[in-house]
Amino acid sequence: MQLYGTEITSRLLLGTAQYPSPAVLTEAVKASGTEIITVSLRRETADGSGTAFWQDLQKTGCRILPNTAGCHSVQEAVTTARMARELFDTPWIKLEVIGHSDTLQPDVFGLVEAARMLSSEGFQVFPYTTDDLVVGEKLLEAGCEVLMPWGAPIGSGQGLRNPDALRAMRAHFPDVPLVVDAGIGRPSDAAQAMELGMDAVLLNTAVAKAGDPAGMARAMALAVEAGRAGFTADPMERRDMAVPSTPVLGMAEFA
């Protein structure tokens, strides 16, 4: 998998919020086998209180993907992205511009505007978006090379609410990396996303809030691997009628 020219082996991206402790987070990251972890820039840690947390993340050896979580306006998201680039020394940014407080649905109009601004400044933008094809096209025109459609609202664990839309995105954007972001609650959800042809899955709450975060992280990694293998194996189409697995032609007939 290529993301902005960087080859990535693991197709599971992991968030770093809501874990019981830094030690549990580190164990989960290791168990997942992920190479990319997302990190929210907390402006209240500008006094240095978050330094130990950043150091723990760096020790994992994973690539950091900062995000603009919690931003509700273009200016807020752009400013946060600029701060993140200085702090983490990376052009990568997971761009979130939230438009609805309850569903945390992206403000797609602000998202496209912010993506265009950041791309012009040299950022490599990973936009958290809806599964709308037109919005996807606008984001690509704005300079994005990756799309991150939601599976369901953030933290809901509902799984894929509209698999047909994700399937349509895969068909419409055959050469664009697609990463399902948000809504994954169980390993079966992750496997389903990969079976639809998604290139990767990004999840957080499903692992962080599990009774055994490291165990769930490992389960998600296996699900992503199985789902990808199933997709590349070209699975059979579903049928409306039963089809016998044993041919009846040539079988003996008994009176």
pLDDT in tens, 156-195: 989 999 999 999 999 999 999 999 999 999 999 999 999 9
> What is the pLDDT, as a whole number, of residue 184?
95
Angle formed at CA 87 by CA 86 and CA 88, multiple of 5 degrees: 100
Contact 56, 85 (CB under 8 A): no
Q: How confident is the model at residue 52 (pLDDT cuts 50, 70, 90)?
A: confident
Active site residue: 59, 94, 138, 209, which one?
94
224's tokens:
């992503």
Span 104-117, pLDDT tens digits: 899 999 999 999 99
Look at strands 12-15 and 36-40 and give their pairing: parallel
User: In 3D, which of 221, 196, 195 has the Cα closest to residue 206?
Assistant: 221
* Rounded alpha-carbon distances, angstroms, from residue 232 to 174, 186, 239: 14, 22, 20
94's tokens:
């997971």
Q: How confident is the model at residue 42 (pLDDT cuts 50, 70, 90)?
A: low
Place of tokens 């701060």: 83
Helices (H) and strands (E) in the chain, counts: 9, 10
What does the H/E/C string look like for 155-190?
CCCCCCCCHHHHHHHHHHCCCCCEEEECCCCCHHHH
How much is the mean pLDDT over the chain?
A: 90
Over 70: is that where the pLDDT of 51 sits? Answer: no
Please indicate whether residue 94 is annotated as part of the active site.
Answer: yes
